[in-house]
Structure 1
């Protein structure tokens, strides 16, 4: 891939993300609270808590005084389509620390959980939790270990990256207002 086409792909991605970025920038809160909400939501998105992730994000954001809408956005990373690859990777990582069943066997379970969750409605929270807990302790322990590690790493990275971006954008916006008022 040439440098020109990579630059074009990057530009197209940023253009598609523009409405989301504008919405985040319009949130009425401090950059620290918005970035904290995004980081917390990302952490929760990678934990095996499908079905209650939205509730956990809102409660966590309220408890830590972070921006609640910003905490809810990243939770949608984990959905019935992405649950199998995300949970498989998290399990693979956790299996390096805690012994568990073979990866291929567990990967099939995660695919089945994704199919089950696709059939359930949004409000079938109890059934979603039961689907995850039905895997058993020998699968859940490595999954939780890997999920916490990945969630912590990605949550911190998202916090740092979004905080820096928000500070830059808000500084530029303030600078433009100063220039326009003179």
Structure 2
């Protein structure tokens, strides 16, 4: 802020709205829920549109959006092939498809193709994943949901416990001061 006499002027327009959005949903449950939501979405084959999905679901489910946004970066072009291959493998245990080795090569080629894309071509990235054959997509989606739910549960429990511990410790320090 710049002070001019008795008046303040915001350098960043809508600064109070941005502060409100960041501070919104600050409880340990909301923050842990945000971490879990972002983790779940990160493990789904929605690379390219994860940001929009997390913002929408975080608002809808009353979870901390910044925490959710941080965790979607688990999957990126560099980690996509191994993560999606593992998810595919889990899904292929329930639904048959091509061999895991073939699928890994497909994902590695897809990641190389995405590296050449502009970072803002999110829809094109999502379309590239969705262009995979049904024999790959169905086990991938099934495996992604299973792995995503398990990872989200682990992240929720761990982050909630850590946040509660930090909150209690902070409260005890205030009492002792």
The TM-score range, normalised by the shorter chain, is 0.7 to 0.9
Q: TM-score, normalising length from structure 2?
A: 0.85
1:12 corresponds in structure 2 to none
Max Rg structure: 2
1:30 corresponds in structure 2 to 27
- For residues 118-157 of structure 1, the aligned pairs below 5 Å read 118-157=115-154
2:75 matches 1:78: yes
- For residues 154-169 of structure 1, the aligned pairs below 5 Å read 154-169=151-166
1:111 corresponds in structure 2 to 108
Residues 58 and 65 of structure 2 are in contact (CA less than 8 Å); yes or no, is this contact kept in structure 1? yes
Residues 49 and 123 of structure 2 are in contact (CA less than 8 Å); yes or no, is this contact kept in structure 1? no
Cα displacement (A) at 1:27: 6.3
Q: In the TM superposition, what whole-angstrom CA distance separates every residue of 1:110-138 from its partner, at most 9, and x where no partner exists?
A: 00111112111221022101210111111
> For residues 143 and 50 of structure 2, what CA distance do their matches in structure 1 show?
17
Instruction: Name the SS for the 2:126 alignment partner.
Output: helix
Pairs aligned (count) = 155
Q: In the TM superposition, what whole-angstrom CA distance separates every residue of 1:36-90 from its partner, at most 9, and x where no partner exists?
A: 0000000000000000011111111100000000010110000010000000000
Question: Runs of 4+ in structure 1 displaced over 3 angstroms?
Answer: none
For 2:173, which of 168, 172, 176 is the aligned residue? 176
Instruction: Name the SS for the 2:119 alignment partner.
Output: coil
2:53 corresponds in structure 1 to 56
Cα displacement (A) at 1:104: 1.3
> For residues 59 and 65 of structure 1, what CA distance do their matches in structure 2 show?
10
2:95 matches 1:98: yes
